[in-house]
Structure 1
């Protein structure tokens, strides 16, 4: 389940005492390991761009560390996904399309030391969510190139019971909030079995890892290249190179596809926290379409798109 970056910019600036900063890091350490150690069942609300949806989730961690999960959308078109150790086993509705083998259900593990370089960690008090006590943990961005996060962590398990994400103007971009939550083992086990509508999913081979042939002359401080892959374009027979960058919390991807002389227009859009910026890059062989997609500010995505160049030189931060 994706806890990050469903989350809120912490407005204002103040000095964090060392003891409180240490406590904040301790909670972040607990959060980093919670999903791989804690079983739970819950119902949550997801809000994005003014629309709402409700979901149930069952998350079971076996004694040997194996993780079984089931997610069920409760309103609108039926949507169901069942995964085992991050691999989709069956799905219903639009989610029944083939998926990449080994695709993780949640974001990769958090690194508190890495995050502290780009975010100021703050303990902001206590709250009550889904009938349970929670500790409020804030991650305030140290620059304008990422969003801030506010997490209400369950006092017992460190699982986020609520998370918010807002831009630098204090506007909420995304909200995730449990309305019901339990760690009762029987309740977790009872809901793990897929329904008859959950169809087995044929996994595809993972994208091919390739040598980097493009780079960005500029990247926001703290963002590092984490993977370079090549995949087949969904609209043509060409391949698309994909460069993925993250700062340990936020993530964005840069896609590059040959145009072969096709006429295209630059474009930019935003849906909630997710932005997409496309621009034509003139080259000697007909041009390339560069598209930056991720949960970063629009201006940051535009600057990255403008900085893309051939070759694998290291970007300036």
Structure 2
């Protein structure tokens, strides 16, 4: 059963407000409901399936995501940290006090603020995983970000399906629940990591939060709406070689800036595109700066071009 968007009635402004309210309900549902399901991801023409378990207990979120096909991985998240396990390579990434919340979608705190950069519209109602959902389109008001479509379950308000739309108007990334159940209680045993880490054979990579006052980089050409979400340092064992990481986000679209101190010559202006992800690298003094994210190429180019060392550190 499908309804035309025009049947929703109201002015464009009122429909925009209706769509924002749907997304606010979705954000609350993603955070506060107990649910489990199987999620299929289509990315770079490759399909991956995951088992997802989510619980909200004592005012705290707990989440566990386990891959069902190669490459094997497991992600466990709570308010204190996110741990990503890769059994094939015996590698684990640990981040304390993570800035992001849902592993399903980027969910901004202030949707109304995003109206400066995106237009929200209610579209048709469609079935996903045998559940009726409201389709919401998210159109950028400039060409620094991608469009999106989200299918929100009428009953639970959970996102059942998600599409990221590339520059050519085609979906370059999709997420969809193939099965979903809402639970009264999720046992703690289902939220704990099943992967066992051996400190002698596993490589443990830690992401540590850094004070902003220690940031020696200036960002001079960040598109309007993108703000710094976190500044961290990634420490990889056994070399303990640090890589700085600056995370920018406008609420939906996020961009990572990786800064690695290297020796030798590096090709300037190196550009790469994989599916929805664009990346741009350049050498600044003794550092390799790589900007990447699920944003158009011009966005990463602009940000990379504006990264500069503070003057007093440029020739240490």
Q: TM-score, normalised by structure 2?
A: 0.81
Q: How many residues align?
A: 291
- Seen in structure 2, the aligned counterparts of structure 1 residues 16 and 290 have a Cα distance that, compared at 3 Å, is farther
Q: Residue 208 of structure 1: CA displacement?
A: 2.4
Q: Give deviations 1:72-94, integer Å, cap 9, x for gaps.
A: 21122443333333634684615
Q: Give deviations 1:153-203, integer Å, cap 9, x for gaps.
A: 1112221100000112112211000111111336x4498255754548978
Residue pair 1:207, 1:231 contacting (<8 A) in 2 also: no
Residue pair 1:92, 1:199 contacting (<8 A) in 2 also: no
Q: TM-score, normalised by structure 1?
A: 0.80
Q: Which residues of structure 1 form unaligned runs of 5+?
A: 1-14, 313-317
Q: Give deviations 1:270-292, integer Å, cap 9, x for gaps.
A: 222222211122x4xxx432210
Equivalent in 81, 84, 87 of residue 75 of structure 2: 81
Superposed, which structure 2 residues align to 1:57-136 within 5 Å? 57-62=52-57, 64-85=58-79, 87-88=81-82, 91=85, 93=87, 94=89, 96-103=91-98, 104=100, 106=102, 107=106, 109-136=108-135
Superposed, which structure 2 residues align to 1:1-317 within 5 Å? 17-62=12-57, 64-85=58-79, 87-88=81-82, 91=85, 93=87, 94=89, 96-103=91-98, 104=100, 106=102, 107=106, 109-185=108-184, 188-189=186-187, 192=190, 194=192, 197-199=195-197, 204=206, 206-211=208-213, 212-232=215-235, 239-260=242-263, 262-266=264-268, 267-281=270-284, 283=285, 287-311=286-310
Residue pair 2:209, 2:230 contacting (<8 A) in 1 also: no
How much is the aligned-residue C-alpha RMSD, in angstroms?
A: 3.0
Higher alpha-carbon deviation: 144-153 or 36-45: 36-45
Q: Which residues of structure 2 form unaligned runs of 5+?
A: 1-9, 312-316
Higher alpha-carbon deviation: 20-29 or 96-105: 96-105
Q: Which has the higher contact order (CA 8 A, sep 6+)?
A: 1
